[in-house]
A and B are shown apart, each in its own frame.
Chain A
Amino acid sequence: MRVFLTLFRREVGLFLSTLSGYVILSMVLFLIGMSLLTVILAYNGRAMDAPLTEAFYSTPFFWFIVLLACPAITMRSFAHEKSTGTYESLMTTPVTPLQVLGSKFMSCWLFYGLLWVPLWLMMIWLGRFFNDPGYLDTGIIAGTSLGVMLVGALFLSMGCLASVLTQSQLIAAMIALTLEMALFMLSFVIYLLPDQSGWQAALFEHISLFNHMSDFVRGIVDGRHLTFYLCATALSLFATWRWVESHK
């Protein structure tokens, strides 16, 4: 555990002490600001029929943030260490591949979580102008947070897998973006199917990220969605772990 914490502190410190961390933070902050502006302009003086988080989710900026930030966060995790050679000195100390992967993934996830803090602060500020507390209650905040963190975990685990495959951060980011975009694009397939009652529709509905998120932002936590994210993230992390283990 001590070794894990040492690695974890180092990884988190890297995000907070390097320019790249602040570039990602600035980019996300800008997109959150843009989404907030869109929400205010769209609903100013009008009655809302959905929670505030859903209004935010309905802007295109949500997926921009998730799709762009995740590869940017994970691209350096393994690729940078491999290109500078510090991976060799790391893997010749008494650390296990699981500790290395765990610390890298958890630090990325923590940083990803920190990126969303400004959104919550803005939501709380905006919530003060609503008469009905139902627009932003605890259940909605918890559900949306869970959804955001689960989508993030899945995309970050894909990013870690991409980063472990190459020495180039750029290629790692490209692979991660491709994997994420592929999953994202699969979410559209459900709308293109002529038969909405067949097994194909059921399958694509099950893996539709839109479907999951539209539930989460309303504060609905569906066990099927949870299972999907946990299984897909675990699978991706397992593949990364096996790669680290076999390519020492």
Chain B
Amino acid sequence: MLRKQFSRRTFLKAAAVTAVSSDLFSFGTWSKQAEAAEVTVIPSICGACSAWCGMWIHVKNGRIWKVTGQKDHPSSRGRLCARGHAGAMWPYSKDRITHPMKRMGENWFEPISWEQAYSEIAVKLRAVIEKYGPGTVFYSENPKPTSRFYMPRFMDAIGAPTIHSHHALCSTARDVANKWTTGRMATADMAKTKYVLFLGRSYADGISPSATASLAAAHARGATIVIVDPRQNSSCILADEWVPIRPGTDLALMLAIAHVLIRENLYDVSFVSEYTIGFAEFQKAISQYTPEWAAEVTTISADTICRIARGLGANRPASCIEQGYKAPNGANYANGTQTFRMLACVNALLGNYNQDGGMKFPVGPRLGSLDPKVYPAPAKPKIPRCDGVGVKGEYPLCQTSQGIPHIMPQRALDGKAKAGFIYSFNPVRNAPDPQLMVKGYRALELLVVSDIQWSETAMIADYVLPECSFAEREDLPTGIAGGAPAVGIRCQAIDLLHVQTRSFEDIVTGLAEAMDLGHYFNFTRETLAEAMLKPLNINLDDLRRKGTITLPSPANSLQFHTDSKKVEFYSQAFADNGYAPVPVWQPPLSKADEDTFVLIHGKQGFMSHTATANLPQLLNIAKTYDLERLWINADRARHFGIKDGDLVEVESPRATRRIRVKVTERIHPEAAFLPAGYGNISPWLKTAYKFGVSPNDFTPHRVEAIAGHAMMMEVLVKVRKVVE
């Protein structure tokens, strides 16, 4: 292990110069021993969310002391958020899974040996494959640098094609729509934009430190920042304008903005003629969507809609609509797929693709892989997936790289899925309808979960395979896309804390060996890492020293990766599968009346869904500042006789829960907002257990028709005061 080292004595010398006695004014924990202790600094990648920030872990006396951001890393740029700092202490959580476990009953697990775990899992998996075929086996993950290589290879080896990421609960509507509109994901060029519109996305709540910094910097240099959201999110502090919108109607706003851009001839005619197809059909469809019509649908005035459209038009191509991820075009509403299609179409009208201040295509490094002659890879399975993705008549346009994980419990109940592996992903808590999730996963003949803590999903597994934490292992190098691509690595910072936990590559390799498929894993992670870095001429040890290495920016040409190689206002693929080929208005499923609210939810800057709620430092923030509360609009609250801090009962057809209320002027009257990070129900997440309420309790299980996302904000609730 290579470590950047400096001695505590260096500090004492420096302190002597400024005549500060560290002895006199140091805090209690800087004991004599700690003062004398050497601090080692090891490069790592944060494990507290999916931004994967490059960071330095500072280790004192063999224990993690603190973390700091790597200046070269595109996500952190030298800074870390609260989750990153608190996540540094994750390895020391009292709720780690410390042994391979076998489920014996409700909340009852017995520790078993790895050998027993592997052999029993192999016997059951072989039986499922022989009886029902490998098409009934699935794997769902929140992808990690090492897992996303190892486990898909294992799935290929057993002949099972159904692999999911968590994105159907996050960004699948965007990603599928994008595939069929521009073919490449473009991101807002915050460094140079003059006018940027955000739909629901908040850089100050769903944090990647460099993105949050980019918003503050854009605001400081005078770019116009407009935030459309039913709730005044934290980013509005750095915005020029908050535009509250009726939940789920962002598509209408996009349609009307396009209408104004075309009607007032504010769009980029030459870009449209050179780089798009289907403009005539699009123009015809859009002609009915006047700002006056959209005002009725969205509750945003026609004047405001025209002003935004003109602002975007006047500043093009250095203007854009930011791409979002969860938000109205991610996984939240029935019209999410068409909302992102429209978002991409408006950006096309602005002619902003690959333009400074518009939408840029990030480019990632091209990592290598193993030499197949020495390390033969299993063939890709050719049989249909059991989640219906890529299957005609089911979800033909959804991306196989993401799939539909939350459909699996229902598929299990329907007899179409028989065995599952889930890694670092918690659909029982983080997908709608937890009762269905539990019932469905339990209908499987085999469920194996690998995680570091007792997630709700781990609690219902037949076997739980404990991974060591991010700080106790080295991972495969990871490529980072951006203006300047980079490559980073997570190195081992501390010794293994629980000797029975294993790195994920060891877990998968052990499984493969038990299935007599060890020959597909006849290499070490280090060999693979070197093969990945070879095309970049990067030495593994050099990367381990530096943590992040930035690569030269490649030429980034204006190319669209659709079938037509153009931006598709008209999608033939959509037409062929019976979906609207040009975006047209599609209402959300849920519209509030005078008795109900649309239940919206979102991240807080110090919490990553429910995964980080069990970190005591973070949960303490929520407890200290009452941040688990349900937001409702002040006028509506008055109408219901509800005061700030009152206990209320929130009811949908699926659940009734109690929570305290935050009465605020910062939310649309038709929306009620719950932070998404609470409501853990695993009794073995002892810090977070039963704190707050999860919006998923209220929401029915649904699968959107095109992208298959979970439509997580399509739910109405009633709110009534509880007399205490």
Chain B binds chain A: no
B residues with CB within 8 A of A: none
A residues with CB within 8 A of B: none
